[in-house]
Amino acid sequence: MKEATIIDLSYPLQSDMLVYPGHERPVFQWLGKLNSEGYNLTRLSINVHTGTHVDAPSHFIDDGSTMDNVPLDRLFGTAKLFRFTKAPAGQEITMDDVISSGFDLEENHIFVLETGIEKFAGTAKYNEAFPVPSDDLLSFLIEKKIKAYMTDAPAIDLVGSEANAKHKILLGAEIPIVENLKNLPQLPENQPFLISALPIRLVGREGAPCRAVAFPEIAGLYKE
């Protein structure tokens, strides 16, 4: 029996990684080393929105679900990817962009957006030029009752946005957001596949790092 292909969609966590403007980089500290204590032991200090991570509704919604209360089946299941083909320039991705591509989406699926910003990973442009969804596209996705919104971009509001209106639209509908995905070019467009972005179970918190993976050859393993 052929083994399923697994695509790692997560950025590695390291002390010199690119982070969102104003955020601190992860700090790794050796608490024990084999040559002295007889074991290796590391302490990690990290902003929970670093690298590939999940935004829980409470990130911007007062009474929204915290990370430990987001059902795992919102972040695991059948997904479809929309591939935006225009050069990233901080523009909005509209319903017209989606409709003209022939993309369709069933209810209760996970929506995955490839903005194309990954090509600038590790550079300042990654945090400056990523496209964001238009309000009408977000309304469409909410009407489709998507389980989660996942993207290669570092955010769904433009950097520097004080209102964070687009986050509030999705999170206000109790739809979790996964940001900073990578390797989306390896996934099929407009075809169902299995995706998983399970977060660390942080009690009472608004987000958490996750290890996101996709199984591009599998669409029906998980029963909706």
pLDDT reading at 224 higher than 50: no
Residue 89 CB contacts under 8 Å (≥ 6 apart), including other chains: 129, 131
Q: Which CATH class is domain 48-215?
A: alpha beta
What's the pLDDT tens digit per position in 104-126?
999 999 999 999 999 999 999 99
Q: Contact at 8 Å (CB) between 22 and 49? A: no
At residue 191, the pLDDT reads 95
At residue 173, the pLDDT reads 98
Which residue ranges make up each domain of the chain? 48-215
Please give the average per-residue pLDDT across 178-183, as a whole number.
98
Higher pLDDT: 65 or 224? It is 65
- For residue 167, give the amino acid letter: H
pLDDT reading at 208 higher than 80: yes
What's the pLDDT tens digit per position in 120-160?
999 999 999 999 999 999 999 999 999 999 999 999 999 88
At residue 160, the pLDDT reads 85
Give the single-character DSSP code of 47. -
Q: How far is CA 20 from the centre of its chain?
A: 14
At residue 2, the pLDDT reads 73
pLDDT reading at 42 higher than 60: yes
At residue 221, the pLDDT reads 55
At residue 1, the pLDDT reads 58
Task: Please report, rounded to a whole number, the percentage of residues in the chain having pLDDT higher than 90.
Answer: 93
pLDDT reading at 48 higher than 70: yes
User: Which is nearest to 134 in space by CA: 173, 100, 104, 90?
Assistant: 90
Please give the average per-residue pLDDT across 185-194, as a whole number.
96
Higher pLDDT: 161 or 110? It is 110
pLDDT reading at 47 higher than 50: yes
At residue 38, the pLDDT reads 98
Banded model confidence at residue 212, pLDDT cuts 50, 70, 90: very high
Average pLDDT, the chain: 95
Distance (Å, whole) CA 175 – CA 105: 16
At residue 15, the pLDDT reads 97
Banded model confidence at residue 73, pLDDT cuts 50, 70, 90: very high
- For residue 164, give the amino acid letter: N
